Structure 1
């Protein structure tokens, strides 16, 4: 039996996952709407798999993954995020995630990923695996590797046109704190405008300009 915990701040998403995972070999042993709640649940139930969203109020999915690994918990994380957010699988794998899927994946792919990761293997969505392979062939590091998990998250939201207040509301941070993150990441990347940031993300294959609205 594969024990699974669902960590996503959207109840409809968790309901969909729960319906897909109603299988003889899978058992849902809990749900959480925040990463903090998810971490407590994972510590208490020690499931084989945690399906984790990236963007949640407060702690992000990346931070949750890092904490699970640091705590030496037996749970393997599969990140399931929206298509537009499929920008940093390498960061998540470095943090200790064992799987990476987009929410547009088929139900059968989700089941396959859960079973594969539960058996001790990694699972990457085919498009993500291709991107990682190409990046390895290029042999070049990315300046975005210098950003912290939260800075990378803020950068992604900035290039999608989100205002500081909106970013703060989503991440449960004050606008002043978000502004500080923005200043730090701009300094690290040596850019002075969100448009320059978007250009840099495009150059490094982190941004599809057709699916994103660049803010000011």
Structure 2
């Protein structure tokens, strides 16, 4: 039986996924979370084989969750389900450790196929996403965020949500001085001078939703 956790801040989306998956004789939804923070707790507690994760959620993002699961070497495999299909974005998530990438326009059959394939240890990319990823590779287009380390990206995501350096340090178990160093380094790599510029850049590349973040100084 494939044990699955659903992590999405929209209850309607979780309900739809649960209804589809629980019709399958080899699948069971063992937990649901409306935030990545709660999702991380469920993953550690329930140890599901698969986690279906949205990218844009209040608080910690799906990217950060994927990074943390990968860094902690947890056995749960992440399948991202999002509206973003730009080729550069799936690449960032695959680099972060995601095993699958689906768009929310996929049908029930594709969702089930993706879960089964990832459960066997194979990656799954929605056909449209695979095409976009291939095209992005062929034409040499890339995201400036590809230059960031996993930790730098994590700090960047927290900065644009308005979190002070002390709070970022507490959540990442780093000193404020170390967080400040990460901030300076990522700003230099991205050629931005302030967090507002960072937020604009992240919005342009689909890493955050414009209406949902709170920009700090």
TM-score, normalisation: structure 2: 0.70
- Work out whether residues 145 and 153 of structure 2, in 8 Å CA contact, stay in contact via their aligned partners in 1: no
**Distance (Å, rounded) in 2 between the aligned partners of 1:70 and 1:3:** 21
- Work out whether residues 48 and 76 of structure 2, in 8 Å CA contact, stay in contact via their aligned partners in 1: yes
Report whether the alignment pairs 1:31 with 2:32. yes
| 1:77 alignment counterpart | 78
| 2:174 alignment counterpart | none
Superposed displacement of residue 144, structure 1: 2.9
Flag the 1:42–1:191 CA change in 2: closer, same or farther, 3 A: closer
Residues 140-167 of structure 1: CA distance to partner in whole angstroms, max 9, x if unpaired? Answer: 654231244357769xxxxxxxxx9xx7
**Distance (Å, rounded) in 1 between the aligned partners of 2:71 and 2:52:** 18
Residues 181-202 of structure 1: CA distance to partner in whole angstroms, max 9, x if unpaired? Answer: x9987754446897xx67xx6x
SS of equivalent to 2:15:
helix
Give the superposed CA RMSD: 3.4
| 1:108 alignment counterpart | 109
**Distance (Å, rounded) in 1 between the aligned partners of 2:188 and 2:48:** 40
**Distance (Å, rounded) in 2 between the aligned partners of 1:24 and 1:187:** 51
| 1:64 alignment counterpart | 65
- Work out whether residues 87 and 133 of structure 2, in 8 Å CA contact, stay in contact via their aligned partners in 1: no
Flag the 1:153–1:70 CA change in 2: closer, same or farther, 3 A: closer
Superposed displacement of residue 59, structure 1: 1.2
Flag the 1:53–1:132 CA change in 2: closer, same or farther, 3 A: same
| 1:20 alignment counterpart | 20
Flag as ranges the 4+ runs of structure 1 deviating above 3 A. Answer: 83-87, 138-142, 147-154, 173-177, 182-194
Gaps of 5+ in 2: 168-179, 212-217
Decide which moves more: 119-128 or 84-93. 84-93
Q: Aligned pairs, how many?
A: 185
**Distance (Å, rounded) in 1 between the aligned partners of 2:20 and 2:75:** 23
| 1:149 alignment counterpart | 153
